[in-house]
Structure 1
Amino acid sequence: MIKVGEYNKLKVIREVAFGVYLDDGAEGILLPKRFMPDNVKIDDEINVFLYHDGEDRLIATTQKPKGILGDIVKLRCISVTPQGAFLDNGLMKDIFVPKSKQQRGMIPNGEYLVKIYLDEQTGRLAATEKIEPFLSNDDLTVKVLDEVDLIVYRRTDIGYVVIINNIHTGVLHHNEIYRDITAGDKFKGFIKKIYTEDNKIDVAAGKPGYNRVEDETQKILRLLNENDGYLPYYDKSDPEEIYSFFGMSKKTFKMTVGNLYKQKKISLEKTGIRLV
């Protein structure tokens, strides 16, 4: 069964001058010639993305969209009409956001965080800025220390509301942020705390506990080797400077340095660390 707005692995059933048709159990779906892989032949299976073109025909492409059905992504506005706006999703045809699905109206070249959904009336892909109805913490699918995908949603007084695995919401507190972030940014994180009384979630960026140390150890050793065995960073260094250079929080830096020191791979000096 084919799935619109998603990747499908389909078999080539016939070839025409302008492309090939892929098996959909009926007359076939066209994969235009410009998107065909080299040396395609009958009975080959091709991984394609399915969507409707400007004439409402279901069509296949090997282009990679910026978002597929169910994704929450930040997309740039291409044009605006009285009915809505068109956003660049990386395909030949832009994705439509009805005016009723916009928060405050869209303008060309603006970037907007949207969720991609399938319009029930037309069967076509569309997008909405009104993401809240798709998010819920009622039935949690995560637990403390789980690694998760995070999307920055909006800023608050205590930090940023983030979207967790495209399903839940959580808070990334200001003291867990060590670089500039903005709505739509994506990165890995983990569940730091779950408040059982209301299922609210606190998250942190990176990986939990000493798993983070194991990942960052090789990075610090590599940077030491690349800088003649010495780096002018230590436990009194500014957190922003540490994040800018190492891409990790000061807490993770200190844990990693401590681990390397115990292994006698580095020595600690007054103003930095040195490779032993």
Structure 2
Amino acid sequence: MDITEMYGQVLTGTVTDLNKDEAFVQIDGKTFALDLNELTEIPELGDEINGFLYENQAHKNKMTTVMPFVVQGIWDFAEVTEVRTDLGVFVNIGLDDKDIVVSLDDLPFEHSEWPKKGDSLMVKLDIDHKGRLWGKLADIELYTQIARSPGADVKNKDEEGTIIAIRESGAFVMTESYYIGFIHVEEQSQPLHIGQHVKARVIGTSHRRLNLSMRPRAYEEITPDAQMIVAVLEHSRDKKMPYTDKSDPDDIKEYFGISKGSFKRALGNLMKQKKIEQKDGYTYLK
């Protein structure tokens, strides 16, 4: 078997040599180094060991008994570790000394829609004819196969998930509950890119998917008056101020420049969102 056919495979070999850090395992005349710190006890010459084979970043043939969580035929989310506009993005699949590339051919044409470091992509291991390991990006059809169908009780619920595809009309999401969601461009609070973690609320369902919105509910919107109160509290000692909904209207007008009615509405808005609390004649920032 050619060595390029071994990369990415789980095979069994024989220990032919040892040093203080590594065991050297031979398979069909090819030698792979195995870190001894992976093993509970030092092997002996002639022992057989089963492990995953690959070429690391330093072009050294390696075996590991710690299986990567992404292999051939197994899809999982992998964290983006580096972005290269001339190549694609590198993702961590669980190998200590090697990240694999998701090719730019699998990524959106617009670089602004590419994932960023720390984002997550669902990939499986792909191996080309030269034995090189690649990350194959999941497409929308795969997500459709593994997604759940939403029930009637999801309306207005909060969901978190990962952007999996960008379209001109909006973005598709795989939620942590394994629903597919769609965020229309008018319901987005910012430009989105694949791999991005987002929070959104369910505003409806259609075609076995959730319709999502990143826009706040009406009561969650912070008015300019409420923003001013939060700013005052953030810059106050102990995050408190001697003004409440019981304060004198003239004192409120002099300090904040707004009427007591506007002040009370702003306080009510912030209390509904549990951003503030009132006690002992003070308003506190939570």
- TM-score, normalised with respect to structure 1: 0.48
- TM-score, normalised with respect to structure 2: 0.46
